[in-house]
Amino acid sequence: MVVITDGFENASTDYDARTVAELVRDYEQRPNWTFVYLGAGHDSIDDAQRAAIHMGYKADNAMHWAHDPASARKAMHSLAHATDARRRAAARKSEKFFDDAGQTDADYKHTDTGDSAAHPKPLSHRPKAPNQIHRRTLRDALRTSKRVDRGN
């Protein structure tokens, strides 16, 4: 589950940080859930990690990106690579999502160096799916997820 945000409070009336943290902690106890926080509007990765921790995310599953179009493209490409790496991993769960994919915050910010090493790592050569956006609330996503019987 990836949350992409501008990093600022949106005055939500449905969820506050405490409620989100409770949901995240409940689902993180399951063996097949990894929660990732990707926020712009943070001055540093430490700021993004503090915001993520406040909402129940693991610090090493948080990343920040610059709030500009080129960085947004690079961040989405890098996130796709990290997600692909997670899908290919033996363990479906990760407490170090970005480290597991060999990524740093440089992978999430545009730099105009002209150096090909500054570009995100390529994705696998699977055919591209049609561009579709599926919008669901966190409650809907969690309600329709597969439940794991923990023997209770």
Digit-coded pLDDT (tens) for 64-77: 988 888 888 888 99
Nearest 5 degrees, angle CA 97-CA 11-CA 20? Answer: 40
**Band (9; pLDDT cuts 50, 70, 90):** low
Q: What is the pLDDT of residues 103-139, one digit of tens each?
A: 888 888 877 655 444 444 444 444 445 555 555 677 7
The pTM score is 0.68
Question: In a 3-state reduction of DSSP, which class is residue 116?
Answer: helix
Question: In a 3-state reduction of DSSP, which class is residue 53?
Answer: helix
Does the CA dihedral 68-74-77-81 come out positive or negative?
A: negative
Q: Evaluate if residue 59 carries a pLDDT over 90.
A: yes
Q: Of 131 and 17, which is predicted with more confidence?
A: 17
Domain boundaries, the chain: 2-143
Encode burial over 67-96: b for 16+ CB neighbours within 10 A, e otherwise: eeeebbebbebbbebbbbbbeeeeeeebee
Nearest 5 degrees, angle CA 18-CA 98-CA 4? Answer: 45
Cα–Cα distance, 71 to 26 (Å, whole number): 32
